[in-house]
Chain A
């Protein structure tokens, strides 16, 4: 039972344009969400997070949007750069559950120069 879903396994975007990566979840108890970025042969690295008390969090070129009613979050990268090419995982958790996170299956982003 996959509680966090990333329905697009891959995405290609031209350099300089916006990349939008989507994530849906089923558990309405989730209140903390993260995005991870993973290069080949490396472990995922933390990118950006958002708490359910917010609907937007911005860090440089990365912005995460949360729509609680739709149980949907998205990661926007603008402008996209070739170095952003990687697999992006979203993850969700319920606060105070022992730091157990549920991961999506990832979206592979390719930024075309």
Chain B
């Protein structure tokens, strides 16, 4: 009974393709996030949604577009994939207050 689940866990795709990563949380949290973990293990926030509304949008290429159909889901769509997009992407959620996250297990994206 996974609290924050991401699919797929692994994704290998060619440059130029469009792909989506899905995230769902069953914790009733109001806020969801996407983080990118780079090759140096640094976790960098990409997007934050609160109750389906975008509240944080860090400097991320326009090719990345988050979609939140409801507050339990935050999907990440990536257009025209590039080699540099290869990374592990973590979804997370939190209650709408200032304490920590529950993370998904990550999606390892490899662009070839």
Contact = CB atoms under 8 A, between A and B. Distances in A.
B110 to A, nearest CB: 15
A49 B55 contact: no
B43 A103 contact: yes
A69 interface: no
Contact of B102 (A46, A87, A95): A46
SS class, residues of chain B in contact with chain A: strand
A36 interface: yes
Given A46-B100, A93-B98, A101 B45 contact: yes
Interface residues of B, number: 28
Interface residues of A, number: 24
A93 B100 CA distance: 10
B48 A98 contact: yes
B43 A99 contact: no
Contacts of A106: 41
Given A43-B102, A44-B43, 15 more contacts: A34-B100, A41-B106, A42-B106, A43-B92, A43-B105, A43-B106, A44-B90, A87-B41, A91-B100, A93-B98, A95-B98, A99-B94, A103-B35, A103-B44, A105-B41
